[in-house]
Structure 1
Amino acid sequence: MEDHIFKGRAGIIGIGTSIPPNRLEQNEVFQRIEQSCKKDSDVVRWARRIFKQCGVETRYTCEPDFLEQAGACRYLPDHEGAVVPTTSERMEVYQRESVPLAVEAAREAMAEAGLSPSSVTHLVTVSCTGQFLPGLDTVLAKELGLSRRICRMPLIFQGCSAGLRAVQLAKDIVESNPSTVLVVCVELCTIHFQPPASREALFGASFFGDGASACVVSRVSDGREHVFMLGEGHSVIIPDSEEEMIWKVGDHGFDLYLSPAIPKLLKTFLREEVELLLGEQSLPALWAVHPGGRGIVDAVQEMFELKDDQVTFSRDILKHYGNLSSATILFVLKSMREHLIKQGTERAKGISLAFGPGLTAELLNFSYIQTAGKPFLAGKDAAYVQ
């Protein structure tokens, strides 16, 4: 690929992530669920099955209450009539805990990009697990020392696919006008855990975790190293699927419903959308798939006959951190980039996929380049170059 094609193109030049200090082992979470549902043997049996099959081993939470012994956790009490945290209490936790995580991830991304706060022209903040005013965007601008006149764009309550949507929005901004965009995603999913009232309610409790991620998107100059160049992308709403993923504000947190049929639904439409995105290009080597659950990664791998190492980044993030909603995709891309750097890969093309309420699918082409402007020498990665 000719280097001049990259001129004026947007790329991710810095990525940062952060997690809270409280680590949850999957078997410990199950014990709390089991104790909370001890009078409903059907729910307990279903929980045991889900927890074993979801692909998660550890997660992190901002709420130390989850480290209490089974039965002593306020979010998952073991007796009827127990008072669980109200939505307002959970929003207080969100406001207190989301900001430090978001600041840490943002500072890491800016430092990696070699970026001063005054250089940021746009701030895109993403979250679906809490709200407060003045919003996260306002607080971050102050904490990070950004301009008071910065253009702020909050993406609120859009679910797991919103992280990739924010990256695509940043790309469009940068390529329409010379800009530097800071994207910050923070999700505190665990503060919405509740005693499960149904089998379906167990899905969220089985694999969601807390964390934040950030990236800097700007036009890429020669000499910039280890960049994800951003290509074409699009969103699509899947018809007659709006009831498959539901996220409502309840009296005791946000009530989440996830249909077990979602992986099957992906198989009905995703191939057509990927073919539309790629056009005449062959399938890429790199796949950054949002691990919304083990079944989603399985479905993508099966559909496109991917090798295990092509989805290992998604599976590893799910295994060690769980599903972090909108923040997850940047965790996957960061892990992928670390591997490419270690392997000494010069260039490789890829595709990123994320899914959220709607059902909505986000798709984005990207290319990894080791050094912008450096002549490419054909070698082991030649087949993967755009």
Structure 2
Amino acid sequence: MAVMAPQMGEKSETNGANGTHATPPMPGLWITGIASQYPPYLLGPEKLDEFAKRFFDVEKPGLKKLLQINKTSGIDTRASIGDYQTGFASRPEAPTLADLDKFYRRAGVDLAAQACRKALKEWGGRPCDITHTIAVTCTNQGNPGYDLLVARRLGLPHTVDRMLLHGVGCAGGLAIMRAAAQVASGAASRGKPARVLAFACELCTPNVRHDLAEAAACADPADVSIAGVLFADGAAAFVLCNDAGLLLPQDDAGDDDGGRDSGRAEPLFQLLEWDNATIPDTMQHMAFYAEGTGFRTVLTRDVPSFTKTAIGPMFRDLLPGFREKTELKSLDVADFDWALHPGGEAIIQGAQEMLDLTSEQLRATREIYRTRGNSSSPTVLAVLDLLRKMGRGKDHVVATSFGPGLAIEMSLLKRCRAGDGV
């Protein structure tokens, strides 16, 4: 039977007597598993000093300045895939970009797969039930993307819908959350379940020889990039489902053959609002470029001032929608825990002062920064993962991160408590 389009003056899916089109209800978006994975080595500032002395003249003005910052960064230990004694660190020559690529596609894939397995276990479903993957990295540029290697390692179906983001740097953890939300919402509009496995992985410390060499070549200490004393290694993953995706399909074998009854994943967070933007005229202040001898990082001293002034306006733009969805009209800054990307001490301190946040609201951000450093894209997800394990906390969470562009990403989430009836 042919479906007739409404004629002029007729109403289709109207809302009330005024004939306006009804807005379809927003689908539920649920994080049902989240995990972070750090490599085994935790290196104090003294390890970088020792490493630098083996290969460079540490009295060079730029390098001397960098090593001074190393002692006052606020990072007690950085997560590292190596020990600064073996592998690339023991060779007389620095690794090339080809060396870094080959290493990432082994060690990085291993690390990402570990994070994914932990998130999948908490979700409770099977790898074959994942419908989409969304991944991000800035420390590997190979094709096919590392996301395919991770999918193969996990035994995901060859039909899984894959997406790999690039060019977003430290903003990547929330960029994949935004993309997962859009994908899951799109699936819901088609009446389909979405069970999205999203993951981020960065290996930054293998690039430290390049960072130190750039600092040694920097004639003006005021222009030195702090990347060499800031960035660490890590991976994180989460599973995001729409309403239909919360249902866990039954094993094909059925109960008589040891199959699993269909069930329902238990949500950890409900994702209610999100947004991203670029801060005008700031592109030159943060960048990450591939060169023959490694990656060149640009981080100017102006980054903290730009980021701290961007957080408040985006939060204010998202807050009315969040209030409406939670039916809590008085919610404000103080009612949220803040999973702030720990891009550096100045960024954390600037955001705290600008928004009048308490140390308690930023407890997970500071703990990750102090004990693991900044591992770029997965870091904000690691903060969110830790935050939920640090006591009951507030019912609502803001997650925000920044990357090249300068870009800002923000997500507003509601914790799912036992008895909420989710």
- For Structure 1 versus Structure 2, the TM-score category normalised by the shorter chain is 0.7 to 0.9
Aligned to 1:102: 112
Deviates more, 1:210-219 or 1:17-26: 17-26
SS in 1 for 2:74: coil
- State the TM-score, normalizing by the size of structure 1: 0.86
Aligned to 1:286: 337
CA–CA separation in structure 1 for the residues paired with 2:58 and 2:367: 34
CA–CA separation in structure 1 for the residues paired with 2:58 and 2:376: 31
Aligned to 2:19: none
| Aligned counterpart in structure 2 of residue 160 of structure 1, from 170, 183, 198 | 170
CA–CA separation in structure 1 for the residues paired with 2:421 and 2:141: 44
Judge conservation of contact 2:66–2:224 (CA < 8 Å) in 1: no
Aligned to 1:321: 372
Judge conservation of contact 2:58–2:64 (CA < 8 Å) in 1: no
| Aligned counterpart in structure 2 of residue 73 of structure 1, from 89, 110, 120 | 89
Pairing of 1:21-40 with structure 2 (within 5 A): 21-38=40-57, 40=59
Deviates more, 1:350-359 or 1:130-139: 130-139
Judge conservation of contact 1:16–1:108 (CA < 8 Å) in 2: yes
Aligned to 1:214: 237
Aligned to 2:328: none
CA–CA separation in structure 2 for the residues paired with 1:240 and 1:34: 38
Using the aligned pairs only, state the percent identity.
29
CA–CA separation in structure 1 for the residues paired with 2:373 and 2:367: 9
CA–CA separation in structure 2 for the residues paired with 1:87 and 1:372: 52
| Aligned counterpart in structure 1 of residue 347 of structure 2, from 274, 292, 296 | 296
Aligned to 1:58: 77
C-alpha displacement at 1:269, in angstroms?
3.2
Aligned to 1:241: 282
Superimposed CA distance per residue, residues 223-281 of structure 1 (whole angstroms, 9 cap, x where no aligned partner): 85561110111111111100000111111111101111111112443322221121374
CA–CA separation in structure 2 for the residues paired with 1:144 and 1:316: 30
Judge conservation of contact 2:309–2:354 (CA < 8 Å) in 1: no
Superimposed CA distance per residue, residues 162-216 of structure 1 (whole angstroms, 9 cap, x where no aligned partner): 1101011111222232300000111001121122233455411111111111000
Q: RMSD between aligned alpha carbons? A: 2.4
SS in 2 for 1:255: strand
SS in 2 for 1:132: coil
CA–CA separation in structure 2 for the residues paired with 1:36 and 1:299: 35
CA–CA separation in structure 1 for the residues paired with 2:111 and 2:311: 33
Aligned to 2:250: none
| Aligned counterpart in structure 2 of residue 121 of structure 1, from 125, 128, 131 | 131
CA–CA separation in structure 1 for the residues paired with 2:58 and 2:27: 62
Deviates more, 1:191-200 or 1:355-364: 191-200
5+ unaligned residues in a row in structure 1: which ranges?
Answer: 1-5, 76-81, 376-386
C-alpha displacement at 1:63, in angstroms?
3.2
SS in 1 for 2:377: helix
C-alpha displacement at 1:7, in angstroms?
8.8
Judge conservation of contact 1:98–1:186 (CA < 8 Å) in 2: yes
Residues 124 and 319 from structure 1, CA distance in 2 versus in 1: closer, same or farther, beyond 3 angstroms? Answer: same
Residues 53 and 356 from structure 1, CA distance in 2 versus in 1: closer, same or farther, beyond 3 angstroms? Answer: same
Aligned to 1:383: none
SS in 2 for 1:15: strand
Judge conservation of contact 2:129–2:195 (CA < 8 Å) in 1: yes
- State the TM-score, normalizing by the size of structure 2: 0.79
CA–CA separation in structure 2 for the residues paired with 1:59 and 1:202: 17
SS in 2 for 1:233: strand
Judge conservation of contact 2:31–2:241 (CA < 8 Å) in 1: yes
Is it true that 1:367 corresponds to 2:385 in the alignment? Answer: no
